[in-house]
Structure 1
Amino acid sequence: MTQPRIGVIGEALVDIVVGGGTHVGGSPLNVAVGMARLGAPSVLHSRIGDDAYGDAIRAHLAVDRVGIGAHTLVAGASWTATATIAVDGSAEYDFALNGEIDVPDLQDLDLVHAGSIGALRDPGSAALLAAYREAPARTLRSFDPNIRAAVIGPADAARERVFALAAASQVVKLSDEDAEWLRPGAAPEHVLAELAAGGTRFAVITRGGQGAIALVDGARYDLAARPVTVADTIGAGDSFMSGLLFALLRDGTDRRLAAGAPVPADDVVAAVDTALAAAAITVSRAGANPPRTEELAESLAR
């Protein structure tokens, strides 16, 4: 079977903890790493500077053989997020986001995923939306807004961008926090219904320890989270996303979605359960550390 051609668009950055260490991150980068670990390698289209932080990002990607897209390596500073931790454990972030992420040509991709800061800051967001709308029908488009309200501009305009990108995507994943920010006070199922009405075929909202709700072709699915002892929740949503996309590819569901064909209920359940299993493995250990193929297979076999 031919290896699918996968692209991921969005930020790769370094988290800097004041008085602590540094960690390579960024939601799209985490998704690309997670997919690569599951045997679905992708090319990350981002913005990586020629500084020490850029060196760290490139080294991190190289471990799991994530490709680096054209126009990603640039002169200048890499993106960073500096966190100041308060006495109560809460964090305040100061983002340094220099320059824009170039949107690649999607014509030759089987699947493209985009998300978070890189997808929602203008002018890059407008370019991404145009590319998603003009992508070939055979290219499955995935979107996870992973909203960072402080750096994506005025709220109402950002909400419009989220729903426009969702309408151009067959697969959309929100966290319950994303859903609440998008439609304050609305029930999760109402947000899912709005996504579906806009054209999203496979819409999911994650709910932490309560599992996930999906709306696919008018049918609702409620799946419980897998029992797990939580170390921390860093990277859980990104592991869910990479697990979901991996499962869609594994089962051929990606082709059904791209073609507009119905998706059997068993395939929906298998995809969301795989995503929940990937997230459970990640929260069982410290940091954004998504599972590898054999770990996920072992979890799914239980």
Structure 2
Amino acid sequence: MTHALVIGEALVDVVRAADGTVTEHPGGSPANVALGLARLGRNTELATWLGKDARGELVSSHLTASGVRLVPGSDRAERTPTAVATLAGDGSATYEFDLAWRVPEVALDDTVTVLHSGSIAGTLAPGGAAVAEIAAAAREHATISYDPNARPTIMGSADEARPVIEHLVSLADVVKVSDEDVAWLYPGESDIEVIQRWVHAGPSVVVLTRGGTGSVGVTVTGGSVEVPAPRTEVVDTVGAGDSYMAGLLDGLWSANLLGAKRRDALRLIEEDALRAAMTHAARIAAIVVSRAGANPPTTAELTREENA
């Protein structure tokens, strides 16, 4: 059976509020993408690096409950990674990561329709180099997708991260990047000029998300699509970009544009097809920001919303 293979960090977000309360919940950008794809009915595997501890059980139970399968060997870390967010009285946050990253052994064959990675997994040694190697090898079978989802506190300086991220962009067929990531990587540059440069470095499609103002997609053939963000009451934005990524891949999958055999078709994607996939992704992200935490919708929820 064909499936999505997601490679990257799954972790526990530890939130320390200004009033002293502490809450913990599963997170990690690639893990959120895997969760989003699985809830949309896609057969999904996640290759990650968890510990055999209580936090590892929290993360794995959260993922498997929605149908994500963990690649064997994903539980060999000494301890489950954490991202500690300390909130100030004004709501601002500082972050501290405790994260070791290695890639368990993965199987690459023609059952892998899409391989996705991003965020910390692509830049943190020693696993980051393995992500690039696997992405290059997987092109024989799969569409490669990538989301930089920059985390400056663990990725180092933009000058250090930029060449690594640009290499991963060059290996990808589909890239999603936020305006905040572009601003960090290329201060003072136009975000549109950056994604136009990226789309000619290897990808067929690059999509720029701009939060509540919508998203812009460009294609290697010169197409350009703008999609507004649906109006919604925002609870928080946790996981919104990851859910958009999952929705974008799901939309392209439904249009029969994923998989190595469809690479030429993806490079010739028409603007209407890209607009449909981006609109689908925007709807999903809008649902996520209307809820607390990274809680992407299922296909059944989307259907109910359409029929409401």
Q: Specify whether residues 170 and 182 from structure 1 end up closer, same or farther in structure 2 by C-alpha distance, changes over 3 A only.
A: same
Distance 1:283 1:78 in 2: 26
Cross-structure match for 1:90? 92
Does the 8 Å CA contact 2:96/2:153 hold for their aligned counterparts? no
Contact 1:204 1:214 in 2 (8 A): yes
Is 1:164 aligned to 2:167, yes or no?
yes
Pick from 139, 143, 148: which aligns with 2:146? 143
How far 1:154 moved relative to its partner? 3.8
The question of whether the paired residues in 2 share the 8 Å contact of 1:159 and 1:182 is answered with yes
Q: How many residues align?
A: 300
- Runs (4+) of structure 1 exceeding 6 A deviation are none
Q: CA deviation at 1:183?
A: 1.2
Matches within 5 A, 1:280-295: 280-295=286-301
Given the alignment, which residue of 83, 94, 98 partners 1:81?
Answer: 83
Cα pair 2:143 2:260 within 8 Å, conserved: no
Query: Does residue 195 in structure 1 map to residue 198 in structure 2?
Result: yes
Please tell me the residue identity of whatever aligns with 1:191.
Answer: V
Say which SS state the counterpart of residue 22 (structure 2) adopts: coil
Matched, 1:209 2:212: yes
Q: 2:48 aligns with which of 40, 46, 49?
A: 46
**Cα displacement (A) at 1:255:** 4.4
The offset of 1:75, in angstroms, is: 4.9
Alignment partner, residue 7 of structure 2: 9
Q: 1:9–1:44: 8 Å Cα contact kept in structure 2? A: yes
User: What amino acid is aligned across from residue 201 of structure 2 in structure 1?
Assistant: G
Provide TM-score, normalisation by structure 2.
0.92
* Paired AA for residue 132 in structure 1: A
- Aligned mates of 1:185, 1:88 — CA distance in 2: 27
Q: CA contact under 8 A between 1:103 and 1:127: conserved in structure 2?
A: no
- d(CA) in 2 for partners of 1:182, 1:43: 30
Does structure 1 conserve the Cα–Cα contact (< 8 Å) formed by 2:174 and 2:204?
A: yes
Give 1:110's match in structure 2, choosing from 109, 113, 119. 113
Q: Distance in 1 between matches of 2:258 and 2:307?
A: 23
Q: Which residue of 2 aligns with 1:62?
A: 64
Listed as ranges, the gaps of 5+ residues in structure 2 are: none
RMSD of Structure 2 on Structure 1 (CA): 1.7
- Give yes or no for the alignment of 1:226 onto 2:230: yes
User: Following superposition of structure 1 onto structure 2, how do residues 110-129 of structure 1 map, counting pairs within 5 Å?
Assistant: 110-129=113-132
Aligned CA distance change for structure 1 residues 253 and 301 (closer, same or farther; 3 Å): farther
Aligned residue in 1 for 2:134 = 131
Q: Which amino acid aligns with 1:204?
A: V
Structure 1: distance between partners of 2:30 and 2:145: 11
1:121-144 per-position Cα deviation (integer Å, ceiling 9, x unaligned): 123222211222222433100001
Matched, 1:260 2:264: yes
Q: Deviations over 1:227-273 (max 9, x none)?
A: 11111111110110111111111111224884222112221111000
- 1:40 Cα deviation (Å)? 0.6
1:242 corresponds, among 230, 240, 246, to 246
Q: CA 1:135/1:194 → structure 2, altered by over 3 Å: closer, same or farther?
A: same
8 Å Cα contact 1:79/1:96 also seen in 2: yes
Structure 2 vs 1, CA of residues 69 and 231 (structure 1 numbering), >3 Å: closer, same or farther? same
3-state SS in 2 of match to 1:226: coil
Choose which of 74, 80, 83 in structure 2 pairs with 1:72. 74
CA displacement at 1:155 relative to structure 2: 2.5
**Are the aligned partners of 1:121 and 1:153 in contact in 2 as well (CA < 8 Å)?**
no
When residues 243 and 99 of structure 1 are mapped into structure 2, their CA distance, relative to the original with a 3 A threshold, is closer
C-alpha distance in 2, partners of 1:126/1:255?
23
SS in 1 for 2:145: strand
Task: Kindly provide the amino acid, as one letter, of the partner of residue 3 in structure 2.
Answer: R
Aligned-residue offset at 1:104: 2.5
1:50-96 deviation digits (Å, cap 9, x = unpaired):
11100101111121021001220115210001121111111111111
Q: Percent identity?
A: 40
- The C-alpha deviation readout for 1:141-168, integer Å capped at 9, x for no partner, is 0001110011123431311111110110
Q: Say whether the 8 Å CA contact 2:121–2:131 is kept in structure 1.
A: no
The verdict on how the C-alpha distance between 1:75 and 1:241 changes in structure 2, with shifts beyond 3 A counting, is closer
Aligned-residue offset at 1:276: 0.3
